[in-house]
Amino acid sequence: MGALKNIFPHANTIVCIEESKLLKQVNYEILHSATGLQAALDELNGMNYFQSPRIADIHNYGAMQNGLMKTTFELIRNVSPIPMIWCLFALYYDIHNMKLVVKERFFGRRFDDLALDYGNYSLPTIRSAAVKRSDNILRDDLLTDGFFKALELENSYDIDFVLDNLYFKALKHMASKLRSPIIDEFIIEKIDLFNISLLFQAMAAGYPEGYFERGFSGGGACPLAEWLQYLDVNTQKEMQDFSLWKKYKPIWSAAGGKHQLFSEIDVWIDNYLIEKTKVGKQMAFGVEPICAYFFNKMMEMKNIRILLEGKAKNYSQAEIRKRMRISYEV
């Protein structure tokens, strides 16, 4: 029986079937070549991309995308053999809504129109959770403590920093319950790359005092103190000696200048993470291929939002392409 503990026949089979439906590079080429927004939507309708009997057009495609996101989260909830898998993907949207509630407190206005309903908690539940820490309405000590740390801030500037930090702390904690070294390492790299992106944001802004320290998320391969040893020096030569700089430099080594570096670094980071998940395609069973599929389904939906937004604004193919992530195929 021990040999079967990481085999989930139903979930692994469903994910294998769904993974085969992910858009390939050839599909993206067809979409890029489509002339205008409606032509791109026609191609997506022909692929049954929206998984709906409704036909997407220029008036309803935003609602169709939202519907697909809800369908995807329903699939995660229904097939996940371990509920924590669904929680991992819902966490991003829970943190988003926590940010809204904290900002409602600061600015004295409601942000219902910005809420996203893909998380584990509804916006009213998060508002109720903000009333009294000891009620622990979220039923999660880590999330509750981090939420109240944000609620007790004196400066609204730090809201996103504090809750981004909470996101990665909770993500790493949740992922550890899956007992997968592959997923644990992926989360550590995701945190490291968030901090790399933060570093480039600080560089682009001229290194505002304290910016990197306030935005830094712990839980990666190196503590803040080690990062600061190199940031204090501020020279390319010394940064070359930093272990994480050396590890991740290939991601941005082809940049054609600072403008491209600062504008496209997050795309390249996503591409790196997509490449890392491709090990899941080579695994028939376990939680790894399940998580890899849903991570890449989210990336695919991001790609289509970018493409359709670009078509709606009449961006060139080249402008759209540089914003899009690579496809999940080997």
3-class state of residue 322 by DSSP: coil
pLDDT for position 228? 87
pLDDT over 80 at 195, yes or no: yes
Which of 4, 3, 6, 5 minimizes the C-alpha distance to 288? 6
**Percent of the chain topping pLDDT 70:** 97
pLDDT over 50 at 219, yes or no: yes
pLDDT for position 305? 96
How far apart are the C-alpha atoms of 272 and 121, rounded to whole Å?
Answer: 30
Instruction: Specify the amino acid at residue 259.
Output: H
Render pLDDT for 31-62 as a digit per residue (tens, 0 to 9).
999 999 999 999 999 999 999 889 999 999 99
pLDDT for position 273? 97
Give the burial class of 264: count Cβ atoms within 10 A of its Cβ; 0-12 exposed, 13-18 middle, 19 or more buried.
middle
Task: Establish if 123 belongs to a structural domain.
Answer: yes
- The alpha carbons of the chain give a radius of gyration, in whole angstroms, of 21
pLDDT over 80 at 233, yes or no: no
Domain enclosing residue 93, as ranges? 83-177
**Percent of the chain topping pLDDT 90:** 77
Average the pLDDT over 217-233 and give the result.
87
Task: Establish if 230 belongs to a structural domain.
Answer: no
Render pLDDT for 16-25 as a digit per residue (tens, 0 to 9).
999 999 999 9
Average the pLDDT over 93-122 and give the result.
95
pLDDT over 90 at 123, yes or no: yes
Task: Establish if 100 belongs to a structural domain.
Answer: yes
Give the burial class of 312: count Cβ atoms within 10 A of its Cβ; 0-12 exposed, 13-18 middle, 19 or more buried.
middle
Token couple for 242: 């930093």
Task: Establish if 72 belongs to a structural domain.
Answer: no
Task: Establish if 128 belongs to a structural domain.
Answer: yes
Task: Establish if 133 belongs to a structural domain.
Answer: yes
Give me the CATH number covering residue 107. 1.20.1690.10
Please provide the average confidence, as pLDDT, over all residues in the chain. 91
Which of 134, 154, 144 minimizes the C-alpha distance to 94? 144
234 pLDDT tier (thresholds 50, 70, 90): low
pLDDT over 60 at 74, yes or no: yes
Task: Establish if 168 belongs to a structural domain.
Answer: yes
1-5, 34-38, 154-158, 231-235: the lowest-pLDDT one: 1-5
Q: How long is the chain?
A: 330
Render pLDDT for 177-193 as a digit per residue (tens, 0 to 9).
999 999 999 999 999 99
pLDDT for position 137? 95
pLDDT over 50 at 1, yes or no: no
Residue 327 per-residue DSSP state: P
Q: How many CB atoms lie within 10 A of CB 33?
A: 11
pLDDT for position 229? 84
- Side-chain-facing half-sphere of 36: CA atoms under 13 Å: 5
Task: Establish if 134 belongs to a structural domain.
Answer: yes
Q: What is the domain count for the chain?
A: 1
Render pLDDT for 266-313 as a digit per residue (tens, 0 to 9).
999 999 999 999 988 887 788 999 999 999 999 999 999 999 999 999
Q: How far is CA 19 from the centre of its chain?
A: 19
pLDDT over 50 at 211, yes or no: yes
Instruction: Specify the amino acid at residue 194.
Output: F
Q: Cβ distance 172 to 219 under 8 Å? A: yes
Which of 301, 326, 321 minimizes the C-alpha distance to 311? 321
pLDDT for position 159? 96
pLDDT for position 62? 94
237 pLDDT tier (thresholds 50, 70, 90): low
